[in-house]
C-alpha cells in the first residue's frame, strides 16, 4: 500500500481562524480566534489525502505580522522539511500580508519540498466559509509530487499562485489572489492540483539568502508617490534609521521632480533606493541614468515585495550593482 504524504500544518491565525458574532457576518470579525487543531478537525476529509499534524505557531491577524515572526517561521519550516518523513508544509495565514510572508519564505526556505500558504476571505463561522475547502486543497498540494521544486505556493479559491507574482486584489471577495498578467500556475480540479506553468526566477533551495543566524532584518521603508509630493517622507525615513528605500513610483518608475534630487543624494550616500511602481502590472526596467544615480530597478516586483528582497539583499551587500543583479534574478 502506498504511503500517504506527511504534511505539517503551521497555524498563524488570520480570517481562516476567525470568529464572528453570527454566521452572516463577513466583516468585523475577530481574526486568529480558532486554534489549528480545531481547523483540522473541521475538515476530516484531509486525513484521507495525507497524514496531517498541526502546530500552532502563532495566532494573529496578519495585519500585525512582524519581521521576527517571519524569521522564526522560516527557520521552523526549514527545520521541519529537513525531516525525511515530512513531505510538505501548509501555513494557515491571514490574507492581508499573505503574499509578503509567502515571498519571504520563497527566498529563505532551504528545501524543494512544497510549502503552501492558505487563507480565507470569510471567517470560520460564516455560513459559506471558504476556509475548509481551501485548507483541503492546500494539504493536497503540499503532499503532491507535482509541487516539488515549484517554490512557495498559495492555494485559494481552487487556484494555485506562485509566491513571487501573486497579490491580493480585492478587500472582501473570495477570488482575491491573482498573479495578474503572469497568470496562475495551475488549478484544483476535484481536489487534485494541476499545473500548467512554473516560475523561472530563483527561489527556495536555489536562493542565496541565509537567515539561519539572523536576529533582525534591516529597516527598509516604502514611500508612495502622489501629485504634489515632496521629499519630507524619504528624509524622515533615513532619519528614522532606514537602510534602504523602496519608491512606489509613477508609471514606469518615474519620480516627481520634488523628490528626485533627495533620492539621488540618499542613493549616492550608500543607502540603496529601489524604483518600483504604483501600477499593478508591468516591469520597471533600468533607465539611462540609474547607474549614475545609484538607483535599482524593481523589475516586476510590487513595492511590498521589493522591500522584502531589498531587506535580504542588505544582509549581504550595499552595492547597487550587486543588488540590481538580485532583482534581475529573483
Cα–Cα separations (whole angstroms), residue 81 to 90, 224, 284: 11, 38, 35
Compute the distance between CA of residue 78 and CA of residue 290 in angstroms, rounded to an integer.
Answer: 37
Task: Please report the beta strands in the chain, taking only residues with DSSP state E, as ranges in sequence order.
Answer: 5-13, 50-60, 88-92, 115-118, 152-156, 159-162, 167-168, 177-178, 186-189, 192-195, 220-224, 244-249, 273-277, 295-297
Give the bridge partners for 118, in sequence order: 92
Set of cell numbers at residue 285 = 526596467
Beta-carbon count within 10 A of 215 CB: 8
Compute the distance between CA of residue 88 and CA of residue 38 in angstroms, rounded to an integer.
Answer: 20
Beta-carbon count within 10 A of 285 CB: 14
Annotated catalytic, 101? no
Q: Out of 15, 92, 108, 176, which one is annotated catalytic?
A: 15
Q: Would you report the helix, strand and coil content of the chain in percent, each value rounded to 5?
A: 35, 25, 45
Q: Quickly tell me which residue has 501555513 as its cell.
A: 91
Beta-carbon count within 10 A of 278 CB: 15
Do the strands 273-277 and 295-297 form a parallel or antiparallel pair, or are they unpaired?
Answer: parallel
Q: Answer yes or no: are the C-beta atoms of 285 and 297 closer than 8 Å.
A: yes
Residues with a catalytic annotation lie at 15
Amino acid at each position: 500500500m502506498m504511503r500517504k504524504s506527511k504534511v505539517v500544518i503551521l497555524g498563524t491565525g488570520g480570517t481562516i481562524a476567525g470568529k464572528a458574532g453570527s454566521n452572516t457576518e463577513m466583516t468585523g470579525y475577530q481574526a486568529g480566534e480558532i486554534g489549528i487543531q480545531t481547523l483540522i478537525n473541521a475538515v476530516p476529509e484531509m486525513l484521507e489525502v495525507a497524514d496531517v499534524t498541526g502546530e500552532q505557531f502563532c495566532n494573529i491577524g496578519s495585519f500585525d505580522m512582524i519581521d521576527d515572526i517571519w524569521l522564526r517561521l522560516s527557520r521552523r519550516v526549514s527545520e521541519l522539511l529537513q525531516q525525511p518523513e515530512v513531505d510538505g508544509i501548509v501555513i494557515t495565514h491571514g490574507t492581508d500580508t499573505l503574499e509578503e510572508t509567502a515571498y519571504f519564505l520563497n527566498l529563505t526556505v532551504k528545501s524543494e519540498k512544497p510549502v503552501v500558504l492558505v487563507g480565507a476571505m470569510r471567517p470560520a463561522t460564516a455560513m459559506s466559509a471558504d476556509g475548509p475547502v481551501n485548507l483541503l486543497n492546500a494539504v493536497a498540494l503540499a503532499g503532491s509530487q507535482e509541487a516539488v521544486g515549484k517554490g512557495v505556493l498559495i492555494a485559494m479559491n481552487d487556484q494555485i499562485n506562485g509566491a513571487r507574482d501573486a497579490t491580493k486584489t480585492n478587500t472582501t471577495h473570495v477570488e482575491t489572489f491573482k498573479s495578474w498578467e503572469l497568470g496562475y500556475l495551475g488549478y484544483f480540479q476535484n481536489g487534485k492540483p494541476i499545473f500548467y506553468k512554473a516560475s523561472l526566477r530563483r527561489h527556495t533551495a536555489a536562493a542565496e539568502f541565509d537567515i539561519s543566524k539572523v536576529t533582525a532584518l534591516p529597516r527598509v521603508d516604502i514611500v508612495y508617490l502622489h501629485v504634489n509630493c515632496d521629499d519630507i517622507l524619504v528624509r524622515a525615513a533615513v532619519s528614522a534609521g532606514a537602510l534602504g528605500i523602496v519608491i512606489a513610483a509613477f508609471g514606469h518608475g518615474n519620480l516627481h521632480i520634488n523628490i528626485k534630487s533627495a533620492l539621488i543624494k540618499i542613493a549616492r550616500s550608500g543607502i540603496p533606493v529601489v524604483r518600483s511602481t504604483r501600477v499593478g502590472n508591468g516591469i520597471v526596467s533600468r533607465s539611462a541614468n540609474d547607474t549614475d544615480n545609484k538607483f535599482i530597478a524593481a523589475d516586476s516586483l510590487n513595492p511590498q515585495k521589493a522591500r522584502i528582497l531589498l531587506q535580504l539583499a542588505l544582509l549581504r551587500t550595499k552595492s547597487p550593482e550587486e543588488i540590481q543583479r538580485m532583482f534581475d534574478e529573483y
